[in-house]
Amino acid sequence: MAGDKRLYKSIVDKVLLSIDSGEFPAGGRLPPERELAERYDVSRPTIREAIIALEALERVEVKTGSGIYVLESTTGWNGIDSSISPFELTEARAMIEGEAAALAATMITNEQLAELEIALNEMASPSTAVYENADKKFHQVIANTTGNKMMDSVINNLWYVRDNSPTVHRAYQSICETDGNVRVQEHVEIFEALQKRDDRAARTAMHQHFSRIINKLIVVTEKEQLEAIRRKMTESKERFSLNHLVTAN
């Protein structure tokens, strides 16, 4: 992973790690190339290659004769605004994919319906990996059915955030396990609305689908927060308990 047989890439990873860990704070300067070369035990050309890659990623800015500066980034390492919450992502998906479904209902062909049906069948799989994949496929076919490449691109972006934003991904993981076949049923309803070419029903079905996800998220988040509080409480208990005094006596 860190070494695609290309030295400079591993250096990029290492430097990125140092940036994220706060060793090289944003706005600050990286050590000079020669120093980095010594530090990572590679030659200066290799360091330069790494720096150029980082520059292309918009993580650093090179100023000739001055130094290499770490850019502050609202966007995380993968270009995602990591402050986006699972709720925001889901709400956005509801609105956008809802409209996409409505538009798709007016455009969908029988071939596309067949594709959706295949995905639907795969969703019955007990394997979460297969299930997840079928879920994604289902929504992507709908996005594609709009016949609007911009819409398709936007929805793809939503999935990208879903899969790559650490916070969002974690949240989605935890609600994934806890559901039965309710989700399949929801997708069936979307499918049926599309089959009937009923745009309003398709929009509504999609909204309901995401509404349930939001509710699940609320439950899970609540539970996690309670858990966190409980943990802190026990920590405090241990920290502030006078057991060591009591037992010492």
Partner DNA sequence: TCAACTACATTGGACTAACCAATATAAAGA
Partner DNA sequence: TCTTTATATTGGTTAGTCCAATGTAGTTGA
Chain contacts with DNA (rule: CB under 7 A): 5-8, 30, 32-35, 41-46, 48-49, 51, 62-68
Output 1 or 242, the one with its CB closest to DNA. 1
Rounded to the nearest 10°, the torsion over CA 24, 26, 28, 29 is 60
For residue 126, the partner it binds in a second copy, DNA, none, with Cβ less than 5 to 8 A by kind, is none
> Vertex 32, ends 43 and 5: CA angle to 5°?
35
Q: Is 221 in the site for a second copy (CB under 8 A)?
A: no
Contacts 24+ apart (CB under 8 A), 137-141: 138/187, 138/190, 139/97, 141/112, 141/115, 141/116
Return the residues of window 148-187 that contact a second copy according to CB under 8 A: 148-151, 153-154, 157-158, 161
For residue 43, the partner it binds in DNA, a second copy, none, with Cβ less than 5 to 8 A by kind, is DNA
Q: Which residues would be at the binding site for a second copy (CB under 8 A)?
A: 5-6, 8, 45, 48-49, 52-53, 55-57, 62, 64, 81, 83-85, 88-89, 91-92, 95-96, 98-100, 103, 148-151, 153-154, 157-158, 161
